[in-house]
Amino acid sequence: MTPPATPATPWLLPEGVAVGASERDLGVYLHVPFCSVRCGYCDFNTYTATELGGGASQASYATTAIGEIALADAALRDAGLPAREVSTVFLGGGTPTLLPAHELARMLAAVADTWGLADGAEVTTEANPDSVTAPDLAALAAAGFTRVSFGMQSAVPEVLATLDRTHDPARVPDVVRWARDAGLAVSLDVIYGTPGESEDQWRRSIDAVLALEPDHISAYALVVEAGTKMAARVRRGELPMPDGDDEATKYELAATVFDAAGYGWYEISNFARRPQDRCRHNIAYWRSHDWWGIGPGAHSHLGGYRWWNVKHPRPYADRIAAGTLPLADGEHLTPAQREDERILLGIRLAEGLDVGAHLVGRLPGLVSDGLLQAAPARDGVALLTLRGRLLADTVVVRLTD
């Protein structure tokens, strides 16, 4: 189903999204589409001031986003969804911390005022190491943020240079300490498989991450996305294409070392010290919970209905100003698609996926191929082995075809 480009009345959610809603958490994702420079590997929906051409301004962004929160609230009410407090809030980007802390606080307050924050709600913001100061972090904590996720990416200057990262690696321990002092939980994002990165360099990044004793680590394999500057450099032969075997070796190394240091995996790319350190917002994605994505290009999901906003901040702002939800397109999932997604997403979690009686017969083969763990499989639960985590796509195809 495709909503009309400019609905005359606030858009109505399709029927059925309310079914089972009380069993699902509600999360809010707030996208902040600004960066000071664009990193060569990044294809996220983000804009530097020059790319925006001075239109939709960073200064008015929080106000615009708060406008969408109000429209979202109306739409949820119209759809007859039960009032639910928000369990998790995640500010992502882009670089949310490019906006002043009080603007981020204002957006969080709007969420809290509109829906209420559940007790112990998880409130995260992404931050670039060079975009925050100690007072900023203290202000965020005071405003209700509980977590900060720093884009560390690597501890090795040459690797950071290949990634076009501007921050000084020496600053990372500082921002981590400031966040700690402010009472925020800390997560670090790292990337492995950057062109030219040696195994040894990756090992140094792993050690540097552990030395900072974060609560949570996300380790992502570098993807050369089409249309990025890095893709052009690879095409021209200036950089080698990341190699799958190298990435596999690096993942295995990281997963093993993290585990030995007390960071167990709870999702393929995510590691946490204790269960309560896991990113609940993230887990909600893998469990197909409900969330509303605020901001240009943000994706949302409610009870089997997925949609996404217009991508560019300018039409986004225009639509909010006109009092309409800024939808670009959406899809109402068929039961078969929902089932595919349940498997596709759920398989990534360390808690395992109850595959259901109809698929139990496929588990022994996957176990004997070393992709799933044997004991949970006996109970009908698909739980990836280390090898299976790297070959999760194979597992998903074999469970869904």
Partner 1 sequence: MPPIPSAALNARILPASTPAELLRNFCIIAHIDHGKSTLADRMLQLTGVVDARAMRAQYLDRMDIERERGITIKSQAVRMPWQVGETAYALNMIDTPGHVDFSYEVSRSLAACEGAVLVVDAAQGIEAQTLANLYMAMENDLTIIPVLNKIDLPAAQPEKFADELANLIGGEPDDCLRVSGKTGEGVLELLDKIVELVPPPVGDPNAPARAMIFDSVYDSYRGVITYVRVIDGQLSPREKIVMMSTRATHELLEIGVSSPEPTPSAGLGVGEVGYLITGVKDVRQSRVGDTVTNFGKPATTALGGYRDPQPMVFSGLYPIDGSDYPALRDALDKLKLNDAALVYEPETSVALGFGFRLGFLGLLHLEICRERLEREFNLDLISTAPNVIYKVTMEDRSTVTVTNPSEFPEGKIAEVSEPVVKATILSPSDFVGTIMEMCQNRRGTLLGMDYLSADRVELRYTLPLGEIIFDFFDQLKSRTRGYASLDYDISGEQVANLVKVDILLQGEQVDAFSAIVHRDKAYAYGVMMTGKLRELIPRQQFEVPIQAAVGSRIIARETIRAMRKDVLAKCYGGDISRKRKLLEKQKEGKKRMKQIGRVEVPQEAFIAALSSDGDSKDTKK
Ligand X SMILES: C[S@@+](CC[C@H](N)C(=O)[O-])C[C@H]1O[C@@H](n2cnc3c(N)ncnc32)[C@H](O)[C@@H]1O
Does 93 bind ligand SF4 (CB under 6 A)? Our answer is: yes
Residue 151 in the binding site for ligand X (CB under 6 A): yes
CB 191 within 8 A of CB 154: yes
Q: Find the angle CA(216)-CA(220)-CA(223) to the nearest 5 degrees.
A: 160
Give me the least distance between CB of 241 and partner 1, in Å please: 8
Is residue 316 within 8 Å of residue 326, measured between CB atoms?
yes
Contact flag: residue 233 with ligand X (CB under 6 A): no
Position among 278, 301, 312, 362 found at the interface with partner 1 (CB under 8 A):
301
What, of partner 1, ligand SF4, ligand X, none, does residue 34 touch, CB below 5 to 8 Å by kind?
Answer: none
Minimal distance, residue 251 CB to ligand X, in Å: 12
- Within residues 104-163, the interface with ligand SF4 by CB under 6 A covers 128, 151
- Map the footprint of ligand X across residues 41-60, applying CB under 6 A: 41-42, 44
Classified as helix, coil or strand, 3 is coil
Which of 13, 26, 28, 35 is close enough to bind ligand SF4 by CB under 6 A?
35
CA separation, residue 314 to residues 36, 57, 310, 383 (Å)? 18, 9, 9, 44
Residue type at position 143: A
* CA distances (Å), origin 294, targets 40, 131, 244, 299, 326: 26, 22, 35, 8, 10
Kind of pairing between the strands at 26-32 and 86-93 = parallel
Residue 217 beta carbon to partner 1: minimum distance, rounded to whole angstroms: 12
Does the CA dihedral 225-88-347-197 come out positive or negative?
Answer: positive
* 332 contacts partner 1 (rule: CB under 8 A): no
Q: Which of 7, 6, 20, 11 is nearest to 76 (CA)?
A: 11
Q: Please report whether residue 128 would count as binding ligand X according to CB under 6 A.
A: yes
Binds ligand X by CB under 6 A, chosen from 103, 126, 197, 247: 126
Q: Which of 137, 136, 172 is nearest to 151 (CA)?
A: 172
Q: Does 218 bind partner 1 (CB under 8 A)?
A: yes
Check binding of 33 to ligand SF4 (CB under 6 A): no
Vertex 33, ends 30 and 35: CA angle to 5°? 130
Considering the rule CB under 8 A, would residue 369 count as an interface residue with partner 1? yes
Instruction: Write out the DSSP string of 182-209.
Output: TT-EEEEEEEE--TT--HHHHHHHHHHH
Question: Minimum distance between the CB of residue 50 and ligand SF4, rounded to whole angstroms?
Answer: 13
- By CB under 6 A, what part of segment 239-298 binds ligand SF4? none
Question: How far is Cα 129 from Cα 190, in angstroms, rounded to an integer?
Answer: 12
- Please report whether residue 44 would count as binding ligand SF4 according to CB under 6 A: yes
- Token pair for 6: 């400019």
**What is d(CA 302, CA 292) in angstroms, rounded to the nearest whole number?**
8
Binder of partner 1 out of 158, 238, 331, 379 (CB under 8 A): 331
Is position 128 an interface residue for partner 1 (rule: CB under 8 A)? no
Q: Distance between CA 381 and CA 69 in Å, rounded?
A: 38
390 binds, among ligand SF4, ligand X, partner 1, none (CB under 5 to 8 A by kind): partner 1
- DSSP string of 15-42, one letter each residue: TTTTTTGGGS-EEEEEEE-B-SS--TT-
Query: Can residue 206 be called a binding residue for partner 1 (CB under 8 A)?
Result: no
Per CB under 6 A, 92 contacts ligand X: yes
Which range in 59-67, 87-95, 330-338, 370-378 contacts ligand SF4 by CB under 6 A?
87-95
The two three-digit tokens of residue 368, written as one number:
């004997």
Cβ proximity to ligand SF4, 94 vs 193, nearer residue: 94
Binding range to partner 1, per CB under 8 A, among 67-75, 136-144, 153-161, 337-345? 337-345
Binding piece for partner 1, criterion CB under 8 A, among 9-17, 57-65, 239-247, 320-328: 239-247
Three-class SS state of 221: strand
By the rule CB under 6 A, 313 interacts with ligand X? no
CA-based Rg of the chain, rounded to a whole angstrom?
Answer: 21
Of 38-46, 348-356, 357-365, 367-375, the segment contacting ligand X by CB under 6 A is 38-46
- Binding residues for ligand X (CB under 6 A): 41-42, 44, 92-95, 126, 128, 151, 153, 189, 191, 220, 222-223, 225
- Binding residues for partner 1 (CB under 8 A): 29, 31, 44, 92, 189, 218-223, 244-245, 247-249, 251, 268-269, 285, 291, 293, 298-301, 306, 308, 331, 337, 340-341, 344-345, 369, 371, 387, 389-394, 396-397, 400-401
